[in-house]
Chain A
Amino acid sequence: MKDIKILAIESSCDETAAAVVKNGREMLSNTIYSQIALHTLYGGVVPEIASRKHIEKINYVIKGALDEAGCTFDDLDAIAVTYGPGLVGALLVGVAEAKAISYARKLPLVGVHHIEGHIAANYIEHKDLEPPFMCLVVSGGHTHLVIVRDYNKFEIIGKTHDDAAGEAFDKVARAVGLGYPGGPKVDKCAKNGRADAIAFPRGHVGSNIYDFSFSGLKSAVLNYLNSCRMKQGLDGNVIYSSKTDRPDFDPFELVDPDENITVADVTASFQAAVVDVLVTHTVEAAGQYGFKQVAMAGGVASNSALREAMKNACEAKGIKLYYPSPILCTDNAAMIGCAAYYEFISGARSGLDLNAVPGLKLGER
């Protein structure tokens, strides 16, 4: 069979990314221009700034991906692009660019769901992984427990009712003065703390045992920090509201001198509460539905505590666990090219009227 090479473009949030993927599993290039440094100034992603940066960088990122793959447009079989979910203004840049390339080079266009991409990131590094399997998708915008029935068939069995897991990390990071992005910073800080120092609540939702809720946990952390402040005779606002990193940040700073509790203890205990719920739900669901393969996807899948706890829990149940390298957990285009390949060979094509769909649901086309 002839090789299929797909150029993929991803611009759903604050990374401008392009990649060339061969036959769905072989990553020939994976170029990412990250805007994190820029958004750090504002304590989070600013959609208008993200969209402006995408426009400035997109051609360079695409050229970089083609060069690294040793390809020209002549070598390509299709163009893939993320068309949702995400920030609409950001998505539109990638979608318009991809459609123009598709038209100009008469190449088929394949619109890809961002989460389908995250799940597919696992196929790039794990050649043995094939559906069906249970997948936990955790990122700044999503917390889904998904049964991957086939490459393009998904069933969501659990989702968050409020904040995404990554969102909770960002909010707690801000409250303790760690700054943005919260995920990796909390992960690092928590290594210095005791996960059992404070018993934060494990959020459960009555209606569906596999659903998630993280807003209660976030509030519990903020309330805890406030009560510590009041104990110290300070006013009861969130300890630090600074938008940016504090250069003098000290993980061993005491928030409750009486109990000898440090900032690191707070982050470690918060992280443990998140990880506990994610792992319990995933492993229980895998058991109930009879899956011996579990995968993780999305930015939070890089979290070291989550990886370790999930590994231990899966081993105990004889489940094989898969997760991508951190570079493929973060938003990237290689994962989009991988997902696009399976859509492409099943005949999926998008027209020149493809629109960005910020609230696109998994499995919809």
Chain B
Amino acid sequence: MLILGIESSGLTASAAVLDDEKLIAEYTVNNAMTHSQTLMPMIDSVMKSAGKEPEELDAIAISRGPGSFTGLRIGSATAKGLGLALNKPLVEVPTLDAMAYSLYGITDRIVCPIMDARRSEVYSGAYVFEKISVDNSNETVFNMKNILPENAGPVEELVEKLEKLMDDSGKTDENPVTNGLKGVLFLGDGVKPYRELILGKMKTGCSFAPEFLSRQRAASVAALGMEVFRQGKYISADDHAPVYLRMSQAEREAAKA
């Protein structure tokens, strides 16, 4: 099963080719160049490096948002064009899910990706990795579980929600998924602008992922996309559109009036 992952929701542009479990090639650039110019040549390059022709793809996994409106649309239009021209399905991967998935196996903390959403807000979600034992083996696998739905809002609001989850974490019966957690691990480009604010407001322990694990990447998108594709949850490229989590400014103003 061959999947191309595409990620352009934020400052990084990224493309990856995944053959079943094997990540054959990944190309990620975090250099503030316009995705419009760089993304398609990156896909071309990553496919060539993987030694694959476009028609060999089984599906295209797209980081479907939230994120920069224009960035998302560049990725989406690219994925839609590929899907249409190759007659291959699309798998929509929530951007925040893919970010959290890069920190697979963190069990003592809530994993909280935050993306700078401008206007003093962040796009955020919160996740935990549940341990699942494998029968007749000493292996443990983890199931990523979303515990705060994706949202656009002020960091202060996010901090309140996280604190509430942490308060509940001692009470086994009320919220077993957060039982025994020691704090929150943040990642994403929202860390830089909001790090001090988070440290000032959070009562429980905070950690911040190192930069190299902190950004969106297409390998994560492709890996989650592979799982979702195998579950049969793919769509026609014609029907894909990004999930913005926000109305346009004109719609917001019209709604207010």
Contact = CB atoms under 8 A, between A and B. Distances in A.
Interface of A: 41-42, 46, 48-49, 51-52, 54-56, 58-60, 62-63, 73, 88-89, 92-101, 103-105, 351-356
A96 B39 contact: yes
Interface of B: 34, 36-41, 43-44, 54-55, 69-70, 73-86, 237-238, 241-242, 244, 248-251, 254
Q: Which of B34, B37, B41, B43 has the most CB of A within 10 A?
A: B37
Q: Which of A89, A351, A353 has the most CB of B within 10 A?
A: A353
Contacts of B80: 55, 58-59, 97, 100
Given A49-B248, A103-B40, A356-B36, A89 B73 contact: yes
Contacts of A95: 36, 77
A41 B69 contact: no
A280 to B, nearest CB: 38
A229 B40 CA distance: 57
B250 A100 contact: no
B36 A49 contact: no
Given A55-B77, A59-B238, 17 more contacts: A41-B254, A49-B248, A49-B250, A52-B241, A52-B248, A58-B80, A92-B70, A92-B77, A93-B73, A96-B73, A97-B78, A99-B40, A99-B78, A101-B85, A104-B54, A353-B38, A355-B37
Task: Report the 4 A-B pairs with minimum CB-CB distance, sorted nearest first.
Answer: A100-B81, A96-B77, A48-B248, A104-B85
B100 to A, nearest CB: 25
6 contacts: A55-B73, A59-B84, A96-B36, A101-B84, A101-B85, A355-B36
Contacts of B40: 96, 99-100, 103, 352-353
B242 A55 contact: yes
Contacts of A105: 85
A97 B250 CA distance: 26
A103 B248 contact: no
B40 to A, nearest CB: 4
A135 B213 CA distance: 56
Nearest to A50: B248
A103 B70 contact: no
